[in-house]
Chains A and B, each alone.
Chain A
C-alpha cells in the first residue's frame, strides 16, 4: 500500500470531499492501487531522457484576439443551483 490514510484525508479535504470512515478505507485502498499501478513507470530507465512538459510534440497553438458573442445570461446562469437572475448566489464566502 503506497498511500496512507492521512494522505487520502488531506487530498479529500483539498478536493472538498466529505468521506465517512468506511469510504476513507475503501478509497485509500483503491487510490493506493492506482498509485501502485502508475508506480510501474518508475522501473523504466530514463537516464539521459529529456523530460517532456506535454504529451504532444506540438507547440504554439494560438487564436486571433477576436471577440465573439457570449452566452445570454439566462443560459449562463441556467445550471446554477441558485442565482438572482444577475449573479450566481453562493453561501457566504467571508465570515466564520
Chain B
C-alpha cells in the first residue's frame, strides 16, 4: 500500500471472472481436436467455422468436467440447464454468436476459501456467483502497426470448451485476489479438469475493482473498472495494486461515484506497469441472448451429482489439513507438498505411512526428492524409487542406522541401480553398525579420553566432537549422531 492509499482508510473491492479451458480431447460441439500449438487453421470443420446447415452436439466429457468443477466449488447444480446464443460480430467468431449460458447456468452460488500458509492473509470465503459452460472464440493476430495492415485469424481454438467462473466482489486486496487464483488453480489441477496454463491461454482472468470510501457515516462506492490483459497471477496482483492506487487518486481529484460514469475497461501493460483505458466496443452490451434452438437442454439428477461428488477424491484444502493433523506437518510443509500435485502428495502419504515418521518423510521429499525430480526433469510417477523403497531407507535413517549424509549416498545408489536400500548399503560397504558394538566403541573412547570426559562434565559439551571424529576413524559406518548420544549418556551415568 502506498502513502496516498493509507492516508485515509478505505476498502478495495475486487471480483474476478475466470475462464478455464477444459481438458477434453475434442471441442465442445464438434469432434475437432483441442490440441494447443497446431499449425493455424488445421483443427477446424464445417461446424466450428460456422458453415450453414451444421448442427452442434455437446461433448459429454466437457459437461462432466464442468459438473466436477462446480461441485468442488460447493455450487448448487441446476436441475435443468440450457444454452443460449450471445450475438456479436467479431472476426474470430465465425457464426456471429457464441454459444454460452445466460439465465439458466448449470451451476450457481458456491464458494472457495483462500489459503495462505504463512498466515499473513485472512482466510477469505469468496462467493462464486455462477459457473457456466460455453465455447471459446478463435484467435486474432493484429499487426503492431495497427490499422496499417490486415488482422490474421486462426480458428483452431474456436469451439474449445470453456468454463466461466464468476466470483462475488469478496476480495479486499490484490494479494487476496492472487491467493484466490492460486487456490482455484490448485483445485482445478487436482481435479484434472484443466491444465490451467496461462501462457497457452488455458486460464484467463479479468478483474473488477473499485473502492468503498467511508464518508460521514456512509460508504461511497467509486466507479467499477474492469481490468483485462493480465498474463500471470503476479500480473493480476500488480495490475490491481496499480489500479487501486489510481482509483484513489482519481476519487480524490474528481469525487466520482459509481453510476456517475459508464463502466470502464482498462488493459494492463506489464512492461509499463500501468493500466490504460481500452476503447469501448459500440453497443457491446446488447448481445440479444436467446435460447439456442440447435441444442436441447440438459437435466441433471441428484443421483448424478452424488456420483460426481464421490468421484472427486480428496481435494487440496482437506488434504492440507490431514497432512497437518495426521502426520504432524507444519502448515508450510503441508502446503509445499500439496502444491506439488496429487501424485506427489499421495507419494508422501505412502512414505509417511510406511516409515512412520511424517516429518522425516516431508523433509526428505522436500529436500532431496523434489531436487532430484527437478534435476532429472521427471515427475514422481516416473521416479525410479517407489514410496515403499524410500520408506525402507527412511526407517534406517530414523533408527539411526544411517545418518543423513550416508542416507543420501544410499538413495543415489538406489536410483542408479534400482536396488533396495539394503543391497545398496552392502554394495557401498555401508554396514549398519550394531548398537552393542557402537556402545562398546564409545565406552572404549571414553576410557582413552579422560580429559574430554572431564571437559564435558564441566559443561563443555562441544568437546564431544573430538570423540565423534575418533569414532569415525575407527569405523566409517558409525552414525555420528548416535555416537554423540551414546557418549553423552555414558558420561552422564558416570557422573
- Does A70 count as interface, using CB distance less than 8 angstroms? yes
Instruction: For residue A72, give the distance in angstroms from its CB to the closest CB of chain B.
Output: 8
Q: Is B154 a contact partner of A66 (Cβ separation < 8 A)? A: no
Q: Is A62 a contact partner of B60 (Cβ separation < 8 A)? A: yes
Residues of A contacting B142 with CB < 8 Å? Answer: 92-95
- Does A48 count as interface, using CB distance less than 8 angstroms? no
Residues of B contacting A91 with CB < 8 Å? Answer: 150-151
Residues of B contacting A54 with CB < 8 Å? Answer: 82, 291, 293, 296-297
Query: Which parts of B45-74 form the interface with A (CB within 8 Å)?
Result: 45-46, 49, 57-63
Question: Which residue of A67, A77, A90 is within 8 Å of B25 (Cβ)?
Answer: A67
Q: Which residue of A lies closest to B150 (CB)?
A: A89
Question: Which residue of B57, B60, B286, B299 is within 8 Å of A14 (Cβ)?
Answer: B286
Residues of B contacting A96 with CB < 8 Å? Answer: 147, 279
Q: Is B43 a contact partner of A88 (Cβ separation < 8 A)? A: no
Interface residues of B toward A: which range? 35 or more
Residues of B contacting A53 with CB < 8 Å? Answer: 80, 82, 104, 291, 297
Residues of B contacting A67 with CB < 8 Å? Answer: 25-26, 31-33
Question: Which residue of B33, B282, B297 is within 8 Å of A59 (Cβ)?
Answer: B297
Q: Which residue of A lies closest to B286 (CB)?
A: A14
Interface flags for A18-59 (1: CB within 8 Å of B; 0: not) read 000000000000000000000000000000000001111011
Q: Is B41 a contact partner of A94 (Cβ separation < 8 A)? A: no
Q: Is B41 a contact partner of A76 (Cβ separation < 8 A)? A: yes
Instruction: For residue B151, give the distance in angstroms from its CB to the closest CB of chain A.
Output: 4
Check A92/B45 contact, CB under 8 A, given A53-B80, A68-B31.
no
Q: Is B62 a contact partner of A65 (Cβ separation < 8 A)? A: yes
Q: Is B154 a contact partner of A87 (Cβ separation < 8 A)? A: yes
- Does B283 count as interface, using CB distance less than 8 angstroms? yes
- Does B149 count as interface, using CB distance less than 8 angstroms? yes
- Does B121 count as interface, using CB distance less than 8 angstroms? no
Question: Which residue of B24, B33, B147, B298 is within 8 Å of A60 (Cβ)?
Answer: B298
Instruction: For residue B147, give the distance in angstroms from its CB to the closest CB of chain A.
Output: 3
- Does B44 count as interface, using CB distance less than 8 angstroms? yes
Residues of A contacting B286 with CB < 8 Å? Answer: 10, 14
- Does A1 count as interface, using CB distance less than 8 angstroms? no
Q: Which residue of A lies closest to B147 (CB)?
A: A95
Residues of A contacting B31 with CB < 8 Å? Answer: 63, 66-68
Q: Is A62 a contact partner of B91 (Cβ separation < 8 A)? A: no
- Please measure, in the bound complex, the distance between the C-alpha atom of A96 and the C-alpha atom of B449, giving whole angstroms: 90
Q: List 23 A-B contacts (CB under 8 A).
A: A14-B87, A53-B82, A53-B104, A53-B297, A61-B295, A63-B57, A64-B61, A65-B24, A65-B61, A68-B32, A68-B45, A70-B42, A70-B44, A71-B44, A71-B46, A73-B39, A76-B42, A77-B41, A87-B41, A87-B141, A92-B151, A95-B142, A95-B147
Known contacts A62-B58, A87-B154, A92-B146, then 4 further A-B pairs from the complex at CB < 8 Å, ordered by chain A residue: A53-B291, A63-B57, A93-B142, A96-B147
